[in-house]
Chains A and B, each alone.
Chain A
Amino acid sequence: MKINRVLRETFTSLSANKLRTGLTILGIVIGVAAVIAMMSVGQGAQNSITSQINSIGTNVLSVSAGSRARFAPGGANNVRNIRELTLADAQAMIDPFQAPSVLAVAPILEGGNISAAANGQTTTTTVNGVTTSYFSIRNQQVTEGTFFNDQQVSAHARVAVIGVDLATTLFGQTTNLTGQTLRINGQTFTIIGVLKSQGGSSFGSADNQVIIPLTTARDRVVKRPGTSVDGIYVQATSAAAVPEASTQISNIMRLRHHVAVGKEDFSVLSQQSLLTTATSITGILTTVLGGIAAISLLVGGIGIMNIMLVSVVERTREIGLRKALGARNQDIMTQFLAESSFLSLLGGFIGILLGWLISLLIGQIASAAGTALSPAVSLNAILLATGFSIAVGLFFGIYPARRAARLEPVEALRYE
C-alpha cells in the first residue's frame, strides 16, 4: 500500500469522527505541553542559578568554619569543637611558598537582618564588613563615589557603600547619594559609594546590602569576639589554579587547626564545586517535574489505545471487507498504526506549541513577581517530547493494530 494512500485513508477515517479524534489528541497535547513547560521551567531555574553562581567569579574560593557551605543554603555541622576562622587564618593563606596559587584573600564579617535608616525611612539589610581586597575579589563596581581604602579600614572609619535596592528603598533614588548619612543599628555612617546592580539572587539580593570596613563592623555592627571572621574569600591566580589553591588552603588550615584529613572543621568551596552541586540539584528537579508531567503523557497514550481498541471493534466489518478485497495483515496493521501515530504526532506538535506558550506565561508571571526566572524551551525538551509522543503512539497503537490485523476475514465479515 502506497504511503500517500495510507495517509489519505488515515485522514478520512480520523476526520469521520472529529470530536473523538480531537479529544484523543487533547490527551497527548496536555501531556506533551506539561512535559515541555515543566522541563523549560526547570531549565530556566538551572540557568538563573548557574548565572548567579558564575557571577561569584570563576577564580574565587570561599572558606568557612564548619562543614557548612558558604554559598549553599543551610548544611549541617558534623564536626565538633569547631574553631572559628580568624584574621590570622586569612593572613596565613597569602603565603607565596605554601600557597603559590593564592593571589588575594578577603576576610568578611556578615550581619543579616540589620536595621538601616536614612531620609526618614527604615528597613532591614545585610551588612558586610570587609577589607579593600574584597572589592576586587568579588568584582564589585560602583556607579557613584568610591570604595573605602586601607587607611579608612585601619582608622575604623564610619563609611558605607550601599546596594541599589537599599538606595531605592531609603532614598527613592540611586544617584546623588554620596555624603548622605545612613544609620546602621543606630550608628551614623557616611555613604561614599553606590554599588553597581548585580541582579537578584536566590540567596538574598546582592543589591540590598551595605558594605563597611571590617574594623568598623566588628566595633559597631556585627559584634564578634577577638579577631574571628565569618568567612574568607580567596582569589586564585587563575581559574585553572582553583583546584591547587583549594588543596594549598586546606593544607594550611589543617596545620593551623590541628585536624586530620577528613576531620576538617572548615570547608573550602569553589564556584565549580557549587556549580556541580547546583546543576545536579536543578537537574534532579527538572527530571522530577518532567517525570510527573510524563505521567499525563502516559495517560494520553492510554487514551489513544482505548480509542483505537474501540475503533477496531467498531470497524470489524470494515476490516473483514478490506481483507476480502485483498488487504494483507500488515496492510491492516499499517493503517491502524498510521492512525495512532498521527494522533500522537499531531498531539505532540500542538503540545509543543502549547507548552511553549505556558512556559512564556510562567516567565511573565515570575518576572511580575520579581523573580528572575526565564523558562528556556530547549531543543532537548522538544526532541524528547516529540520522540516520546511518537513512541506513545506506536506503543499504544501496536496492540489494537495487531488485534485488527489478526481478525479472521470470515468472522469479521459476519460481525454485526
Chain B
Amino acid sequence: MEDTVIRADGLTKFYRMGEVEVQALRGLSLQIKRGEAVAIMGPSGSGKTTLMNILGCLDRPTGGEYILDGEKVSGLTDNQLAGIRNRKIGFIFQSFNLLQRTSALANVELPMSYSDQSNSARERAVAALRAVGLESRMKHRPTELSGGEQQRVAIARALVNEPAILMADEPTGNLDSKVGQEIMNLLLTLNSERNTTLLIITHDPRISAQTQRTIQLRDGMIEENLQ
C-alpha cells in the first residue's frame, strides 16, 4: 500500500472572471500520508475551497500533477473522476447536504447507488449509521433530526464506501461549539480507528489545534507547514 495518499506537485488554478484572471492556486505542492489528520486554514480568497475541490476531484487543476492513492488524477475523464469520488473520497459539507425527502438510511445508501456493490447496500448503510451512533434514528427524515444528528448522517454517508480520505469543508460551521466538538471527536475517532485520512477545511483555530498538522494557505500558496 502506498504510504502517501495525496501527492500534489505544482498545482495551479486560474479562473477568468470577466476581464480579470484570478489565480486561485499558484504552484502549490503538498503531500499527505495515509492516516494523517490535516487541517487547511487560511483567510477567505486564499484558495482553500479551490484546493479542496481539486483534491476532491470535483474540479481539475489548470496545471500541475495530482496523484491520489496511487492513481494519477489529472487527465482523467468526467466519468473516471466520478468513479474516483465514489470509491476514494467521502465528502462532509458545512450545510450537511442531505436529501430532505428520504430517510437517514436512504441518504446513507445514496453513494452505493453509483457503485457496483449495491447488493449489500442496506447492511453497509446500517453499519455506517451504527459507527456514527445513529442506528436508532435511521428511519427518520433529516427534518426530524438535530443539526448534530444530520451531520452524523452525512458522516455515515461519507464513510459508507470506505474511502481513502474524508474531506470535510467547515464540518462544524453550522453547529454550536458543544455539538461541533462532538462531531470533531467523531471525525478524529474515525481517523484513528480506521486509519482514514482526514482533511478538514476550517478557519476555526480550535478545530485546527486538534489535528496533527495544519496547512496555512495565503494567496494560493502554502504559507507554513506547522507540524
Contact = CB atoms under 8 A, between A and B. Distances in A.
B114 interface: yes
Contacts of A1: 113-114
Contacts of A328: 78-79, 82-83, 114
Contacts of B206: none
Q: In this complex, which of B93, B114, B157 has the most chain A Cβ atoms within 10 angstroms of its Cβ?
A: B114
B113 A324 contact: no
Contacts of B82: 323, 326-329
Interface in A313-334: 317-318, 321-331
A12 B102 CA distance: 7
A1 B82 CA distance: 13
A261 interface: no
Nearest to B84: A326
Contacts of A5: 113, 118
Nearest to A412: B58
Interface string B80-97: 001101110001010001
Contacts of B209: none
A324 B58 contact: yes
Contacts of B118: 2, 5
Contact of A413 (B58, B113, B115): B58
B171 interface: no
A187 interface: no
Interface string A190-213: 000000000000000000000000
Nearest to B90: A325
A116 B157 CA distance: 91
B53 interface: yes
A325 B79 contact: no
Interface in A254-277: none
Contact of A410 (B58, B79, B87, B106): B58
Nearest to B88: A326
A57 interface: no
B79 A329 contact: yes
Contacts, number: 65
Contacts of B114: 1, 322, 325-328, 331
B85 A325 contact: yes
Contacts of B85: 323-326
A325 B157 CA distance: 9
Interface string B89-117: 00101000101011000100011011100
Given A13-B101, A328-B78, A329-B79, A322 B58 contact: no
Interface in A1-58: 1-2, 5, 9, 12-13, 16
A326 B114 CA distance: 6
Given A409-B58, A410-B58, A325 B102 contact: no
A409 B84 CA distance: 14
Interface in B158-202: 161
B97 A317 contact: yes
Nearest to A315: B99
Contacts of A16: 101
B56 interface: yes
A185 to B, nearest CB: 81
Contacts of A326: 82-83, 85-87, 111, 114-115, 161
A318 B142 CA distance: 14
A322 B110 contact: yes
B59 interface: yes
Contact of B56 (A2, A318, A324, A329): A324
Contacts of B113: 1-2, 5, 9, 327, 331
A328 B113 CA distance: 11
B59 to A, nearest CB: 5
Contacts of B53: 410
B206 to A, nearest CB: 26
Contacts of A318: 99
A317 B94 CA distance: 13
Contacts of A2: 113, 118
A325 B101 contact: no
Contact of A329 (B78, B86, B115, B161): B78
A410 B101 contact: no
B111 A325 contact: yes
Contacts of A409: 58-59
Nearest to B99: A318
A156 to B, nearest CB: 90
Nearest to A406: B78
B91 A324 contact: yes
Contacts of B87: 326
30 contacts: A1-B113, A1-B114, A2-B113, A5-B118, A9-B113, A12-B102, A12-B106, A16-B101, A318-B99, A323-B58, A323-B82, A325-B91, A325-B110, A325-B111, A325-B157, A326-B85, A326-B87, A326-B111, A326-B115, A327-B114, A328-B78, A328-B79, A329-B78, A329-B82, A330-B79, A331-B114, A410-B59, A413-B58, A413-B93, A413-B97
Interface of A: 1-2, 5, 9, 12-13, 16, 317-318, 321-331, 408-410, 413
Of all A-B residue pairs in the complex, the 10 with the closest CB atoms, nearest first, are: A326-B86, A326-B114, A16-B101, A325-B111, A328-B82, A409-B58, A321-B97, A328-B79, A326-B85, A327-B114
Interface of B: 53, 56, 58-59, 78-79, 82-83, 85-87, 91, 93, 97, 99, 101-102, 106, 110-111, 113-115, 118, 157, 161
Given A5-B118, A326-B161, A331-B114, 7 more contacts: A321-B93, A323-B58, A324-B91, A327-B114, A328-B79, A328-B83, A328-B114
